[in-house]
Amino acid sequence: MDENKKISIAVIKRLPRYFRYLSDLLKEGIERVSSKDLSERMGITASQIRQDLNNFGGFGQQGYGYNVKSLNVEIGKILGLNHGFKAIIIGAGNMGHALANYPNFEGRGFEIVGIFDVDPDLIDTKTNGIDILSMEMLDGFVKNNKVDVAILTLPYQFTREIAEKVVALGIKALWNFSPMDLKLPGDVVIENVHLSDSLMVLGFRLGKLKS
Amino acid sequence: MDENKKISIAVIKRLPRYFRYLSDLLKEGIERVSSKDLSERMGITASQIRQDLNNFGGFGQQGYGYNVKSLNVEIGKILGLNHGFKAIIIGAGNMGHALANYPNFEGRGFEIVGIFDVDPDLIDTKTNGIDILSMEMLDGFVKNNKVDVAILTLPYQFTREIAEKVVALGIKALWNFSPMDLKLPGDVVIENVHLSDSLMVLGFRLGKLKS
């Protein structure tokens, strides 16, 4: 792959889907797949698939299709699933606990190394073997542990302040669960997860179906 | 609004964002907003905003902009936030618990009326005042309670089977948290939430930033 080539965000957002579908094919014992078959499973056009994968150097062979395992491995490498990024969770409420116990982090290239909260009942307990620490420990912890990612599962009103704080501490990536499109200046990567938006779309579509 | 007009899924997916930004403007005490200001906040073009809102009959006035409160109320109505849909959660693990305690359901037109699991340690307990019931109670409960939505926070391997089961019981909407694009035949509305996809995109972008 050409390291200097700028890949569009739309292509990047489809990569995890490719990875997921290829992983499923592997589980089903399927060794090769045509762009046509993959396109039917994924609900995107075969030409889109060829175009997407050409961004990373192709992988397909005319008349053979794609080797599922090697394409899966290659997309995993492109996604950086072997990065071993260190992440902390800030906010040990229900969502913080759910994420601390989420089984997919390691397979996706992340390790949760600490959880932070202000609640004295939670501080110095553990969940999934991970220490829950006082917010007062945050600065020192981040400095000593080379933390790459902060996962923010905080009340809405504290999210921006804490986001700015962790970025000032040198953290370069935020996974934000507050219902806001968090934006910050500088070289910071932010993914906002909007559960409530997805729920509203579900409600809208259900309302239409029933009307 | 023209009830027969087919609204594109891209527009529908932007509606919750409009609702969210307008709610934030209201909190800030801002009474009216131009499409230009809104466009800068939301990071989409002013012409896109006008075009989106024209799908629902406009709302804006030349030279005045949008009245924040009435636009917020109207979009809330379009989204059906007053529907009062009844939802159940299937799977009372960490994510099920997190969602049962998620404070935004009511404001988004949903009420959680029951949670189901197979774990005897969880059955007959409560979370956030909601009963956790045995999966054996599911059929009778759905029949007696006019359930609209099933929220699936199940292990991957059980998701398809349980999804088919609840649809057979008459549930018309699924909010799926398993890492698969659940598709089912017939008139069923499905929203898939892919936390792991979002995490992989974060990892990819962070990898690029660091390289």
β B149-152/B173-176 pair status? parallel
Q: Which residue has the higher pLDDT, A70 or A103?
A: A70
Does the model's ipTM exceed the 0.85 cut? Answer: yes
- Chain B residue numbers with beta carbons less than 8 Å from the beta carbon of A180 are 20, 24
pLDDT band at A83 (very low <50, low <70, confident <90, very high): confident
pLDDT band at B5 (very low <50, low <70, confident <90, very high): low
Q: Can you give the pLDDT at residue A211?
A: 79
Instruction: With a cut of 60, say whether residue B1 has pLDDT above it.
Output: no
Lowest pLDDT segment from A2-6, A88-92, B3-7, B83-87 = A2-6
C-alpha A11, offset from chain centre: 15
Question: Percent of chain B beyond pLDDT 90?
Answer: 69
Nearest Cα residue in chain B from A27: B157
pLDDT digits (tens, 9 = 90+) for B94-135: 999 999 998 878 888 899 999 999 999 999 999 999 999 999
What angle separates helix B9-27 from helix A195-210, to the nearest 10 degrees? 120
Q: Can you give the pLDDT at residue B2?
A: 47
Please give the average per-residue pLDDT across A65-69, as a whole number.
90
Q: Can you give the pLDDT at residue A65?
A: 84
Task: Quote the mean pLDDT of chain A.
Answer: 91
Q: Can you give the pLDDT at residue B7?
A: 79
pLDDT digits (tens, 9 = 90+) for A16-62: 999 999 999 999 999 999 989 999 999 999 999 988 888 877 676 76
Q: Can you give the pLDDT at residue A5?
A: 60
Report residue A78 as tokens: 């492109």
Backbone angles phi, psi at B155, to 5 degrees: -60, 145
pLDDT digits (tens, 9 = 90+) for B11-52: 988 999 999 999 999 999 999 999 899 999 999 999 999 888
Q: Which residue has the higher pLDDT, A148 or A62?
A: A148
Instruction: With a cut of 70, say whether residue A164 has pLDDT above it.
Output: yes
> Structure pTM?
0.90
Comparing CB atoms, the residue among A17, A172, A199 nearest residue B209 is A172
Number of Cβ pairs < 8 A linking chain A and chain B? 183
Backbone conformation region of residue A160, classed left if phi is above 0, alpha if psi is from -120 to 50, else beta: alpha
Give the closest-approach CA distance of A192 to chain B in angstroms: 8
Paired strand residues for B133: B116
Instruction: With a cut of 50, say whether residue A4 has pLDDT above it.
Output: no
- Chain B residue numbers with beta carbons less than 8 Å from the beta carbon of A83 are 203, 206-207
Buried b (16+ CB within 10 A) or exposed e, B174-211: bbbbbbbbbeeeeebbbbbbbbbbbbbbbbbbbbeeee
CB neighbour list of residue B166: distance below 8 Å, 6 or more residues apart: B90, B138, B142, B150, B174
Cβ of A196 within 8 Å of Cβ of B15? The answer is no
Neighbours of A3 (CB within 10 A): 6
Please give the average per-residue pLDDT across B137-154, as a whole number.
96
Check: CB of residue A67 under 8 Å from CB of residue A31: yes
pLDDT digits (tens, 9 = 90+) for B159-202: 999 999 999 999 999 999 998 899 898 899 999 999 999 999 99
pLDDT band at A1 (very low <50, low <70, confident <90, very high): very low
Q: Can you give the pLDDT at residue B6?
A: 73
Cβ of B17 within 8 Å of Cβ of A197? The answer is yes
Lowest pLDDT segment from A95-109, A154-168, B146-160, B165-179 = A95-109
Instruction: With a cut of 60, say whether residue B138 has pLDDT above it.
Output: yes
Instruction: With a cut of 50, say whether residue B4 has pLDDT above it.
Output: no
